[in-house]
Homo-oligomer: A and B are copies of this chain.
């Protein structure tokens, strides 16, 4: 068992109704790998950071037992930086600044000893890089891919090709509509699954997440967090937790898939409680299980008597 996660490692500047932070650890691979680490081991991170990467952030990753043999500090420049502002409803955000820095030349190289990883998570990066990674690995048990609107408009062909080669596509509701030109999620799901993936997850933010396959349609609610602080990374967190849960399970049966989505939703709900990945420091498994149980109670429909 092993989860290989490829994605961005970044510093983020966040402005939100609850306050602001100038510079905090972020990036799709960061959130996904930390979330995955609560469920399985080893979790392997392929990514790059720059010469300004802080010792304490490296420590944060190693504290979560994340294997960093594929993580490179590129001394030629600074870490990818993104700055954004959330509005009060958290359903939209403005990008205030993007500095690609060393991420501009990110060329993911999978260490030989990692090429047989069981589960491959392709975090939100340029689709051509996602394809390069797919070319490097040897028959993972499962491949997952996340993306974002930027690539739908800017690199559609490569993105559709990458999607066609994975088992599980993960996308949010707005992106699903943009990718397919459909307005109803069920229609979006049908179109995206036609591209190739056996499984599709549509993330709906405060409305939870849906899983579509030939055999299963499942919808998990979002845990209602009072006073969301920072939604950055919630989607990446979802993917990491989902992949981590699948990795520790032997099978891909219906219950395992339902559990994985619910654990993804549970971890995402922790993610938004603090700026950056701060809420994961010291988070323990019993808290996670309690939130899983809460989601279960939230959505329980009694059997007919």
Q: Hey, which bits of chain A sit against chain B, CB under 8 A?
A: 88-90, 177, 183-187, 204, 206-208, 217-221, 224-226, 228, 255, 258-259, 262, 289, 292-293, 295-296, 298-304
Q: Using known A-B contacts A258-B301, A259-B302, A301-B262, determine if residue A219 contacts B221 with beta carbons closer than 8 Å.
A: yes
Q: How far is the CB of A198 from chain B (nearest CB, A)?
A: 19
Q: How far is the CB of A285 from chain B (nearest CB, A)?
A: 11
- Which of A177, A206, A300, A304 has the most chain B CB atoms inside 10 A of its CB? A300
- Complex Cα–Cα for A255 and B298 (A): 12
Residues of B within 8 A of A226 (CB): 184, 186-187
- Complex Cα–Cα for A220 and B292 (A): 17
Q: How far is the CB of A138 from chain B (nearest CB, A)?
A: 31
Residues of B within 8 A of A89 (CB): 177, 183-184
Contact of A301 among B217, B225, B295, B304 (CB under 8 A): B295
Residues of B within 8 A of A217 (CB): 224, 298
> Is the CB–CB distance between B298 and A218 below 8 Å?
yes
Contact of A207 among B207, B289, B304 (CB under 8 A): B207
Contact of A219 among B185, B292, B298 (CB under 8 A): B298
3 residue pairs, one from A and one from B, having the closest CB atoms: A89-B183, A207-B207, A296-B301
Interface of chain A: mostly helix, strand, loop or mixed: mixed
- Complex Cα–Cα for A221 and B210 (A): 10
> Is the CB–CB distance between A219 and B299 below 8 Å?
yes
> Is the CB–CB distance between A289 and B301 below 8 Å?
no
- Complex Cα–Cα for A83 and B185 (A): 27
Residues of B within 8 A of A207 (CB): 204, 207-208
Residues of B within 8 A of A208 (CB): 207, 219
> Is the CB–CB distance between A301 and B299 below 8 Å?
yes
> Is the CB–CB distance between A293 and B304 below 8 Å?
yes
- Complex Cα–Cα for A208 and B204 (A): 12
- Complex Cα–Cα for A23 and B247 (A): 56
- Complex Cα–Cα for A217 and B222 (A): 12
Contact of A184 among B220, B228, B301, B304 (CB under 8 A): B228
> Is the CB–CB distance between A224 and B183 below 8 Å?
no
A224 to B, closest residue via Cβ: B186
Q: Using known A-B contacts A207-B204, A292-B304, A304-B293, determine if residue A224 contacts B298 with beta carbons closer than 8 Å.
A: no
Contact of A296 among B224, B228, B255, B303 (CB under 8 A): B303
Residues of B within 8 A of A90 (CB): 183-184
A187 to B, closest residue via Cβ: B226
- Complex Cα–Cα for A223 and B204 (A): 16
Q: How far is the CB of A159 from chain B (nearest CB, A)?
A: 23
Residues of B within 8 A of A185 (CB): 206, 224
Q: How far is the CB of A204 from chain B (nearest CB, A)?
A: 7
- Apart from A89-B184, A207-B207, list 20 A-B contacts with CB within 8 A: A90-B183, A186-B224, A186-B226, A208-B219, A217-B224, A217-B298, A218-B299, A218-B300, A219-B221, A219-B299, A220-B301, A221-B299, A255-B302, A258-B300, A258-B302, A262-B301, A296-B303, A299-B299, A300-B300, A300-B301
